[in-house]
A = this chain, B = another copy of it.
């Protein structure tokens, strides 16, 4: 049960919050939009208002239970925060998302920011391309 995760985040354990966190914990690799979360709950026979889905995802993001990304310019997707920061490679054709982290890139960023007189709050690195996955719709 994930009530403890909610408590730790300073959130009371309500049904919608339980369901949404559960769904994300069950799919730790997934990057789901609010609509997708809504639909999946419906499929499970659980009804949570779409407004609540947005609200709860926002709360989870604020308490660092999950991370928000915007791979395309229009829709936010959310994934479970598993502690380890990482960046993303996204296939423009099949949508596959691969996570990676590169300490050298992280270090260079810190250097650059310092050089420019900035203190880093966060960063965001997406690499877009075509993957060679056999399931990929893209045929080279």
Interface core residue of A73, A123, A127, A140 (most chain B CB under 10 Å): A127
Q: For the complex, is A1 an interface residue (Cβ under 8 Å from B)?
A: no
A90 to B89, CA, bound (A): 22
Known pairs A89-B116, A121-B128, A124-B128 / 7 extra A-B pairs, C-beta < 8 Å: A73-B76, A100-B116, A117-B131, A119-B130, A120-B128, A123-B125, A123-B127
What residues of B have a CB within 8 angstroms of the CB of A89 in the complex?
112-113, 116, 118
CB distance from A92 to the nearest CB of B (A): 6
* A: interface residue count bin: 20 to 34
Query: Do A124 and B124 contact each other (CB < 8 Å), given the known contacts A89-B113, A104-B104, A105-B108?
Result: yes
Q: For the complex, is A109 an interface residue (Cβ under 8 Å from B)?
A: yes
Contact of A118 (CB < 8 Å), options: B70, B118, B132 = B132
- Closest B residue to A92 by CB, please name it: B121
Query: Do A130 and B112 contact each other (CB < 8 Å), given the known contacts A70-B70, A70-B73?
Result: no
